[in-house]
Amino acid sequence: MTQMTGGEVVAATLARIGVRHVFGIVSVHNLPIYDALSLRDDIKVVNVRHEQAAAHAADAYSRASGELCVVLTSTGPGAVNAVAGLYEAAFVSSKVLMITGQIESRFRGKGKGFLHEHETQAEMLRTICRQVSSIRHGEEISKEIARVADDIRFGRPQPGAVEIPIDLQYKMVDCEVVGTREVPSLVPDESLLEEAARQLSKAERPIIWAGGGVNIANGSKALTALAEILGAPVMTTIEGRGSIAEDHELSLGFCSDRPIMAEAFEEADLVLAVGTRFQNYATKVWTLPLPDHLIHIDADAGVINRNYSSSLPIVGDARLSLEGISERLTSSSVDNQFLERLKKRKRADQEELLTEIGPDHAAIVSIIRTILPRDGRIVRDSTVPNYTWGNRLLPVLESRTSIRSASSAIGPGLPLGIGAALGSDAPTVIIQGDGGLMLSIGELAACAEHQIPVTICVFNDSGYGVLRIIQDSVYGHRHGTDLPKNDFVKIAEGMGVKAEHVRGTDEFEKAFTRAILNPGPTLLDIDMTYLAPIKFPLPAHQRKKSDQHL
């Protein structure tokens, strides 16, 4: 037993379980924790400007590194502010631990209106966290943090939270610091792996469908190895991008919702799906026809058979499952002509996409991929360039390098970029719209303070581009989607961030090269009126009613 303050217990426990970065904002209800963290050399506290950004940064840090990351907030308004970021972390299955304060123990449950009082804070957090602990005694701080951290990291990751009253943060307690850096992976049933290998060895037209669970489990090498043994094509979800390098000859990328590629599943005789819950975009709102032979592997038993019936369900860690199948494979019956047909369709689909985005955006894709290192992180907000080429045409070459707003929320791009850069120590490019940037623009100050190596590419069309396109098509007029023209160069420079105006692709190439070489943050304000327009295809329900009958 060691005697220390509750705040010191928090810091010591976080260090013991392997936390290296904490994102947050200092507050009267977390000062003892902040003080204890500031005295440690093994944990860096990253000060942001809004608690939502802290949660987004912690989420992206975890995605980019594979590690557990922490967001530290105040009780009441601070905790409420972080909810949107925790929602995104839950949506994408990220290892995020929230530590938040709580009012003094003597006032809890009395409804006196104490500063930052939120009596149902734990209940609020339980709506988006799998485990929430409300500390009642200082002696339980370490074991409860360790318990919640273990739950976050086991099986399918989900965020968790621990709330600690401010008096217990100051109080001296006799405490044993506990916790582990690693949790065991979920081991799949060996007999099921044997059966999966048997079915795959007989399949002539198999497709491997890789989801985000492969990246979460560090299963990229195992996935690529299995694909190469079989000679089978690999299609990914958006979150699965990078689980196999997109310049690999067996990679088809994210394209299951494209008409020309969706036909591949009608021809396939078996699909091996790993680490995916078959979300709506990838399956064309669950209308994509999959073959009867569907092997579905996931660490979360609850997602198997949720959207598609599996002929062989396997609950287990993606990496262990893929490695186990590879070890048991003795032969392959894959029809090479099937693979060649799919590769031909992929090339045709990419040509169509390049035509849709126009020559200038195509040039920007090429410039980014040429200059950005293979391990550079590509972070994308919900904006037209992301939907059209960020999610599909900008090649992702390594696992954990593709990060986006998985819930399609607008605005997380900049804080996600902060977390991705610090979680990878690699150059990070952010594909951002001007409308989305305004939701987190204060984080430019955090970028300057910590000299975050991010290149923020703001595609500035003075509005909410996606919504504007829908309004033009459905209603024929706009409301609320046109925004004033902002000079983001002046704004960024005012916060201490290097910035440049960009007008056209020639200027972009020069500016992007300078930005990647800059060890700190750079913002590029890209005027989209200088770029050839993107043809943005709309789903049928978002077109004019008269067009739906053509």
Same domain, 351 and 491: yes
Q: Are 518 and 348 in contact (CB under 8 A)?
A: no
Average pLDDT, the chain: 94
Is residue 123 helix, strand or coil?
Answer: helix
From the centroid of its chain, how far is CA 297? 20
Output helix, strand, coil percentages for the chain, rounded to the nearest 5.
45, 15, 40
The pLDDT of residue 549 is: 33
Same domain, 358 and 469: yes
Alpha carbon distance 469, 371 (integer Å) = 31
Same domain, 382 and 451: yes
pLDDT in tens, 206-235: 999 999 999 999 999 999 999 999 999 999
HEC sequence for 197-248:
HHHHHHCCCEEEEECHHHHHCCCHHHHHHHHHHHCCCEEECCCCCCCCCCCC
> In this structure, is residue 270 part of a structural domain?
yes
Same domain, 301 and 363: no
Asked whether the CA dihedral 138, 144, 146, 148 is positive or negative, the reply is negative
Listed residues 309, 334, 359: the one ending a domain: 334
pLDDT in tens, 300-346: 999 999 999 999 999 999 999 999 999 999 889 999 999 999 999 99
The pLDDT of residue 404 is: 96
Listed residues 334, 362, 385: the one ending a domain: 334
Alpha carbon distance 123, 63 (integer Å) = 26
Asked whether the CA dihedral 315, 317, 318, 324 is positive or negative, the reply is negative
Tokens of 78: 């601070």
- Confidence at 540, pLDDT banded by 50, 70, 90: low
- Confidence at 538, pLDDT banded by 50, 70, 90: low
Written as one letter, the residue type at 100 is T
> In this structure, is residue 185 part of a structural domain?
no
Pairing of β 428-433 and β 69-73:
unpaired
Is residue 138 helix, strand or coil?
Answer: helix
- Confidence at 543, pLDDT banded by 50, 70, 90: low
Same domain, 118 and 217: no
Listed residues 303, 334, 365: the one ending a domain: 334
Average pLDDT in the 446-462 region?
97
Q: Are 68 and 58 in contact (CB under 8 A)?
A: no
- Which of 91-105, 149-163, 278-292, 359-373 comes out lowest in average pLDDT? 278-292
Same domain, 324 and 349: no
Q: Are 240 and 266 in contact (CB under 8 A)?
A: no
> In this structure, is residue 183 part of a structural domain?
no
Q: Are 80 and 123 in contact (CB under 8 A)?
A: no
Same domain, 232 and 162: no
Query: Which residue intervals of 259-335 are DSSP H helices?
Result: 259-267, 318-328
Same domain, 523 and 429: yes
What one-character DSSP code corresponds to residue 482? B
Note down the domain range covering 490. 344-540
Closest listed residue to residue 222, CA positions, set 314, 296, 319, 299: 319
The pLDDT of residue 117 is: 81
The pLDDT of residue 311 is: 97
Q: Is residue 550 scored above 80 in pLDDT?
A: no
> In this structure, is residue 366 part of a structural domain?
yes
